[in-house]
């Protein structure tokens, strides 16, 4: 007497067999109906000449697969559901069987569900011994537990993989279904061709992508090298103009010419530094040298530098007001990089504010964790608000991308660099045009940095 487990197993086998038979029967009815409609009454007889056979014994189905391959006259199409299935069949000698039929003029093409490294290894192994056999890999996301054999587009056999972890093909295989319906075989062949073309396109796309990556790498290396090479002559120019400037007395014209050289050399120096920063960001080699800093002091020092610059340039129409946090606000950050962010934002604010005020403020905020009200993270919110022309709505949404600018000064890298520096510190940066009447025109930039609690 069978146990309940054996009964369930038997019922499951019968169910799978019935289900597989229903799938085949439905497909056969569709192609038969289509064929009858195309040929009229001459199509009758297709039902009687076509058969579907469900095979429950794996030994019988695997033997049938080998017999089908051996009977091929023109073409064998084989899909393996996994690299393990392919390896199991290889150990049973299927590659030698393929070689035999190839020597009789039969074309053999194989598709294997495998990742890139696996399929590359298989192809390298097969090409050495069986160069006439074509093998391609199918994307692993299309993985299935069904293997398919199609012979001469006339006969087909599908074999279920019941347990892919098994070493023996007989133990790994489940139910199988054989059909000698030409139209079912053609349907499977068309699926095979689609997957074959997809595999070929994927290969071509990957090769093109690798070429683009190589080209991009070479381009970045060239830009980085050129930028570094430019630093030396720029330093020399700035040093020499400073020496010459100290020797000029009572000659305003020459002083103005030297000032113009110095300004442009410094502008070129900033551009070179930006290009090097962008190269580091995109190669993911931007390193942060973090230390504990007083954010109020850091921002105050940057503002003092810009106040002096405004005085030197005789631009008394712009004023910078700083509202620090009322207490010492400590952060752990890269002093040079955070100063660069503040400097970029101030530089933009001054550039687009011909007359008015720039307000810089620092606040301490608390962000509660939704999962735990007792757990909160403190962060600093830095605000840079100007009363200038504001930001063109056309570029507002892409303002932190590369080369986004409507200014004739700079090439639009400062905000892109600032965004990456802030995000590398775990913060956020964003911008809004001022709509409040009290704020007047202009825009407001915000960025956050975690504080030391």
Give per-residue pLDDT as tens, 42-99.
444 334 456 788 899 999 999 999 999 999 999 999 999 999 999 999 999 999 999 9
17 and 33 part of one domain: yes
Q: Is the pLDDT of residue 303 over 80?
A: yes
What span, in angstroms and rounded, lies between the C-alpha atoms of 216 and 131? 35
Pick from 123, 91, 128: nearest CA to 109 = 123
pLDDT at 330: 95
What span, in angstroms and rounded, lies between the C-alpha atoms of 367 and 70? 71
Give per-residue pLDDT as tens, 357-372.
899 999 999 876 555 5
Give the domain range for residue 423: 290-450
CATH of the domain at 119: 3.30.870.10
Domain boundary among 262, 282, 302: 282
What span, in angstroms and rounded, lies between the C-alpha atoms of 217 and 224? 10
Could you tell me which residue, 407 or 284, shows the higher pLDDT? 284
How many residues are listed for the chain in this entry? 453
296 and 409 part of one domain: yes
46 and 112 part of one domain: no
58 and 139 part of one domain: yes
71 and 41 part of one domain: no
33 and 78 part of one domain: no
Residue 434: inside a domain: yes
Residue 295: inside a domain: yes
pLDDT at 39: 47
pTM (two decimals): 0.55
Residue 93: inside a domain: yes
Q: Is the pLDDT of residue 396 over 60?
A: yes
76 and 176 part of one domain: yes
Residue 202: inside a domain: no
Q: Is the pLDDT of residue 318 over 90?
A: no
Residue 305: inside a domain: yes
Share of the chain above pLDDT 70, in %: 82
Q: Is the pLDDT of residue 311 over 50?
A: yes
Residue 99: inside a domain: yes
7 and 71 part of one domain: no
CATH of the domain at 368: 3.30.565.10
Domain boundary among 282, 308, 330: 282
Helices (H), 40-166: 46-49, 58-71, 83-91, 94-103, 116-129
What span, in angstroms and rounded, lies between the C-alpha atoms of 305 and 436? 30
Pick from 59, 324, 267, 301: nearest CA to 174 = 59
Q: C-alpha distances in angstroms, 174 versus 15, 159, 161, 188?
A: 13, 7, 6, 20
What span, in angstroms and rounded, lies between the C-alpha atoms of 268 and 274? 10
Range of weakest confidence among 30-39, 127-136, 206-215, 226-235: 30-39
Domain boundary among 235, 259, 282: 282
Residue 187: inside a domain: no
243 and 128 part of one domain: no
379 and 300 part of one domain: yes
CB 203 within 8 A of CB 211: no
Residue 189: inside a domain: no
Share of the chain above pLDDT 90, in %: 38
434 and 317 part of one domain: yes
How many C-beta neighbours within 10 Å does residue 152 have? 17
69 and 176 part of one domain: yes
Q: C-alpha distances in angstroms, 330 versus 298, 369, 429?
A: 10, 21, 19
Q: Which long-range contacts (CB under 8 A, 24 or more apart) does 32-37 make?
A: 32/183, 34/183, 35/183
Question: Into how many domains does the chain fold?
Answer: 4
What span, in angstroms and rounded, lies between the C-alpha atoms of 448 and 331? 11
Q: Would you say the C-alpha torsion 404, 406, 412, 416 has a positive or negative sign? A: negative
């Amino acid at each position: 007497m069978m146990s309940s487990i054996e009964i369930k197993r038997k019922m499951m086998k019968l169910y799978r067999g019935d289900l597989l038979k229903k799938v085949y029967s439905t497909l056969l009815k569709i192609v038969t109906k289509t064929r009858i409609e195309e040929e009229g009454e001459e199509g009758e007889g297709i039902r009687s000449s076509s058969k579907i056979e469900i095979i429950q014994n794996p030994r019988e189905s695997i033997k049938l697969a080998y017999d089908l391959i051996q009977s091929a006259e023109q073409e064998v199409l084989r899909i393996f559901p996994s690299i393990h299935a392919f390896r199991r069949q290889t150990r049973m000698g299927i590659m030698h069987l393929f070689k035999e039929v190839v020597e009789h003029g039969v074309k053999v093409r194989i598709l294997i569900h495998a990742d890139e490294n696996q399929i590359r290894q298989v192809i390298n192994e097969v090409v050495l011994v069986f160069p006439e056999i074509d093998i391609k890999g199918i994307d692993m996301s299309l993985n299935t537990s069904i293997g398919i054999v199609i012979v001469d587009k006339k006969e087909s056999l599908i074999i279920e993989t019941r347990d892919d972890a098994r070493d023996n093909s007989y133990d790994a295989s489940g139910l199988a279904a054989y059909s000698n319906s030409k139209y079912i075989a053609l349907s499977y062949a068309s699926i095979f061709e689609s997957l074959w073309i997809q595999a070929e396109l994927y290969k071509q796309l990957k090769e093109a992508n690798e070429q683009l990556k190589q080209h991009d790498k070479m381009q970045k290396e060239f830009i980085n090298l050129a930028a570094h090479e430019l630093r030396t002559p720029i330093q020399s120019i700035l040093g020499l103009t400073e020496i010459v400037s100290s020797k000029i007395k009572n000659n305003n014209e020459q002083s103005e010419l030297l000032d113009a050289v110095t300004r442009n050399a410094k502008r070129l120096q900033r551009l070179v530094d930006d290009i090097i920063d962008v190269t580091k960001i995109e190669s993911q080699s931007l390193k942060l040298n973090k230390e504990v800093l007083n954010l109020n002091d850091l921002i105050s020092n940057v503002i003092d530098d810009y106040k002096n610059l405004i005085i030197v340039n005789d631009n008394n129409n712009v004023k910078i007001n700083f509202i620090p946090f009322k207490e010492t606000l400590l952060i752990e950050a890269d002093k040079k990089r955070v100063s660069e962010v503040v400097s970029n934002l101030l530089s933009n604010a001054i550039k687009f504010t011909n007359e008015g005020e720039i307000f810089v403020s620092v606040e301490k905020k608390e962000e509660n964790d939704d999962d735990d009200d007792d757990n909160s993270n403190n962060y600093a919110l830095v605000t840079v608000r100007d009363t200038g022309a504001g930001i063109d709505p056309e570029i507002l949404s892409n303002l932190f991308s590369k080369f986004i600018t409507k200014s004739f000064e700079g090439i639009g890298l400062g905000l892109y660099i600032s965004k990456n520096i802030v995000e590398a510190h775990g913060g956020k940066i964003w911008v809004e045009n001022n709509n409040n009447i009290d704020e007047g025109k202009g825009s407001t930039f915000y960025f956050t940095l975690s504080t030391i609690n």
